[in-house]
Structure formats: C-alpha cells, structure tokens
Amino acid sequence: MKKDQVTEMAATIAFSAISNNDKIGVIFFSDKIEKFIPPKKGRKHILFIIRELIDFQASSWKTNIKMGIEYLTNVIKKRCTAFIISDFIDNTDFKNALTIANRKHDVVAIQVYDKRVAELPSVGLMKVKDAETGHEQWIDTSSAALRKAHREWWIKKQGILSETFTKSNVDSVSVRTDEDYVRALLNLFAKRN
C-alpha cells in the first residue's frame, strides 16, 4: 500500500534527520492543509510525528499539491530541506509554486506509486474508483486498446512530472510500492552529494 510505504519512507528520513540533530516537521495536505506539525528536534518529537503518520486519515480524498507547496513556502521562514512525498497525481499545475519553494528551500520530490497505476493488469472486468472524484465505473482490462491507452496516459503524465522537476531544479526519485525504497533513497542522496 502507498500509505504504508510513504510512512516507512518518512520515518526513515526522520530518523536520518535526528542522527544529524536536525529539526523535523510535517505538513499533511489533501486539497487543504490537514495538519501542520512545526519543526522541532528530539527523539520524542520524531516518535510523535511517526505516530501521526501511522494514524493520519485525510478529511478529503482530493489533492492540491500547489496549495501544499505554497503553504510550505509561507509557513517555514528559515531555509530547510523539504521532502514532498506523494504520488503526484494532481490535475493542478504546481510548477511555479515548486520553483518558488525550491528557491527558498531545498526541495526533494519522492513519488510513490503502485505498479497497477503504471500498467493495468489483464484481469477482465474490473470496477475502478477515481480516488479524487469518487466516480466508479467498470472497465474491461482484457482490452489491449484500453491497457495501451492507460499506459500512454501514464507515460505522458510521468513525462510532464519529470519536466516539472527538471525546470524547477528539484531532485526527484520515483518508487513503486513493490520496489526497495531504501535503495532508491540511497541513490537519490548519492546523486545529491
């Protein structure tokens, strides 16, 4: 599950920060700011953040990354390293907000996604639900044309996302939920040094 992997990755980054004696905070967002935990130091604070990560339930299923990034830019005054962990499936354009945030802070994007989003499995009729709108419909995943159209959508979406990160000068990594995220994070940090 994406939520589990995101929680593990955030906890790994948090414990890395504590070993450097860095402050750590969290902004939970959907299409609104759900919760803000201001940056602090200490093991107790990090354990509190991890509990919040595990227990957190968004009040909205919609996503507005631009709004979350703008909140980061406005609320955190000192320069920091900010990790945005998301699937980055959002219909709003957040390139300008990301560029501005990365000028003020050191922003790192970590995309977490399920392999079935990238490539639909051929399993016949499947009821799917759009997590953003709640719209449900039946699709025939045995249709090669449908799987091809979905794959093309994913490749186009990833191309736009990659271009957004490149133009915003933001380091990024994409991790599938069935992949080893530790290796991906190590490669990201090696690239940044």
Ordered by start, the domain boundaries in the chain are: 2-116+170-192
- Residue indicated by tokens 């090669």: 144
Farthest-apart Cα atoms in the chain, separation: 53
With bands split at pLDDT 50, 70 and 90, how would you rate the model's confidence at 188? confident
Model confidence over 9-35: pLDDT tens digits?
988 888 888 888 889 999 999 999 999
CATH number attached to the domain at 2-116+170-192: 3.40.50.410
* Residue 3 pLDDT: 82
* Residue 100 pLDDT: 96
- What Rg, from alpha-carbon coordinates, does the chain have? 18
Whole-angstrom Cα distance, residue 69 to residue 27?
9
Model confidence over 111-161: pLDDT tens digits?
999 888 888 889 999 998 887 778 899 999 999 999 999 999 999 999 999
Whole-angstrom Cα distance, residue 95 to residue 66?
8
* Residue 189 pLDDT: 83
Token pair of 146 as six digits: 């449908």
